[in-house]
A and B are shown apart, each in its own frame.
Chain A
Amino acid sequence: MESPEQIRDRLLARFPGAEISVVTNPGIAAQHSLLLGAAHARAIAEFLRDDPTLKLDQCSNVTGIDWPEKEIVETKNISTPDPANPAAPPKVVEQKTKRLQPGFLEVVYHLYSITHRHGPVIFRLRTGNRTDQATVPSLTPVWRSCEFQEREVFDLFGVTFVGHPDLRRILMWDEFKDHPMRRDYVEPDDYEWEPTPHGAVLEKAKAHYPTPPAPAAVAPVKGAVA
């Protein structure tokens, strides 16, 4: 099967102007993926499905990833030569710049070919942000198997799939407002006593421990008759 780079080059030749890049996976699995722009995603998906050498006719998995807003601190060493003594080694000042990387949501598709028995080819779609532009084009019209999985991503991550035929919540109830798989999800506080809490559960349990009585209330009043 072609490598992601080869697929990217073929796609770029077929769709000039489309945003396509390869996201490398530094891990041992080395499953590199393609990052597609939303504008050409539907056309590219149809191409991947119908292309005779790829023929990726099965979409086996659709997943969501939440990338919250991230503060990135960049350290830069600036060396300034001493004007009074040019021979001395230059003064090195560390300059830290902070910038806020905006958050976004990502949807990952895993494609296989039943015809050619190869795969997976993985590609990702990104939303504009995590709030009002959390939309990607739906690929259910291309692969029917995406329908329930896109609904699940919509339910748990809050990604709106434009063009989905039946976009409703699938696991949680319709009245539910949150998206539980997002990083900033706060679960309902239905505390129950734990015999041996630890980690995050201990922190949660501490909020429910009875407050110790104030010392003034416990200490006997001076001169009081028992």
Chain B
Amino acid sequence: MFKRDSEDCPLSQEVTPPPPAVTEAERDELRRQGILLTSLQELYTWGNSHSVWPLNFGLACCAIEMIAASMAKFDIARFGSEVFRPSPRQADLLIVSGTVTKKMAPQVIRLWNQMPEPKYCIAMGACAISGGPFKQGYNVLKGIDRFIPVDIYIPGCPPRPEALLHGLVQLQKKIQGFKLTGPDAPRHLRDDQPCNCPVPEFGEHDLEPPANPEVWTAPPAIVRKD
């Protein structure tokens, strides 16, 4: 599981928190006395992280694993994500489960734009991360992170349902680390962050533009000796 830690994704910037006014031990003592002491931020992220409703949307074989994760044996309901919504208007999480062809990419981005904030994206499987075995082909997008910001990458071809559940737990941890105010606040609580990603056009040879420069820049080339 990889968390994206870069400057263009302020969601995951780590800052050292100021020392709390009430220590953990004092809180436990209060809880034993029947008093729950919490903050609005904790309450908000707690509620947010335990009701992540995914979009009912699958692209390829990874979707089969996603369906398996939602069934009784793996039971994604344990983590509060059993409600697969058929409409992007009601969904919080876009699981890009499978190969994104260039013909499908604008529709995936349109679905992302139709989802209301707060929204999260999981790139599930090798294809959604990088194009996978089709990377050198002519009609497969080399990673959905070229167009939309991805929170969690789950490698695998396809990943097991346990891997998807682990990715979901990692996403919940990430949500629980959000601050409600300040420069580290997530995208949906800030005015200077766009919520929508531009939808590319079908060009004569490729998608135009081939990537969204606001969320993706080409990694620097590392030159081999030979």
A contact set with B: CB distance below 8 Å: 171-178, 180, 185, 187-188, 190-193, 195, 197, 201-202, 205, 208-210
B205 pairs with A191, CB closer than 8 A:
no
When the two chains form the complex, which single residue of A175, A197, A205, A209 contacts B202, counting CB atoms closer than 8 Å? Answer: A175
B222 pairs with A180, CB closer than 8 A:
no
Report A153 CB to chain B, min CB distance, Å.
16
Taken together as a complex, chains A and B put the C-alpha atoms of A186 and B174 apart, in Å, by 42
On chain B, the residues within 8 Å of A202 by CB distance are 224
Q: Which partner residue on chain B sits nearest A178 by CB separation?
A: B205
Q: Please name 8 further chain A to chain B contacts, defined as beta carbons within 8 Å, in addition to the given A172-B103, A173-B202, A195-B222, sorted by A numbering.
A: A177-B204, A188-B206, A190-B210, A191-B218, A192-B130, A192-B218, A197-B224, A209-B221
The majority secondary structure among interface residues of chain A is: loop
On chain B, the residues within 8 Å of A195 by CB distance are 222
Interface residues of B in 166-212 (CB under 8 A from A): 202-206, 210-211
The majority secondary structure among interface residues of chain B is: loop
On chain B, the residues within 8 Å of A197 by CB distance are 224
A210 pairs with B138, CB closer than 8 A:
no
Q: Please tell me if B119 contacts chain A, counting CB pairs below 8 Å.
A: no
On chain A, the residues within 8 Å of B102 by CB distance are 173
A209 pairs with B223, CB closer than 8 A:
yes
A175 pairs with B223, CB closer than 8 A:
no
Chain B: residues with Cβ within 8 Å of the partner, total of: 24
Q: Please tell me if B220 contacts chain A, counting CB pairs below 8 Å.
A: yes
Report B6 CB to chain A, min CB distance, Å.
15
Determine which residue in A176, A177, A195 has the highest number of CB atoms from chain B within 10 A of its CB, and name it.
A176
On chain A, the residues within 8 Å of B130 by CB distance are 192
Taken together as a complex, chains A and B put the C-alpha atoms of A188 and B136 apart, in Å, by 11
On chain A, the residues within 8 Å of B211 by CB distance are 190
Q: Which partner residue on chain B sits nearest A212 by CB separation?
A: B223
B222 pairs with A193, CB closer than 8 A:
yes
Determine which residue in A172, A173, A205, A209 has the highest number of CB atoms from chain B within 10 A of its CB, and name it.
A173
Report A171 CB to chain B, min CB distance, Å.
7
- Given the interface pairs A193-B218, A209-B221, the reply to whether A176 lies near B210 with Cβ below 8 Å is no
Taken together as a complex, chains A and B put the C-alpha atoms of A190 and B204 apart, in Å, by 14
A192 pairs with B103, CB closer than 8 A:
no
A210 pairs with B142, CB closer than 8 A:
no
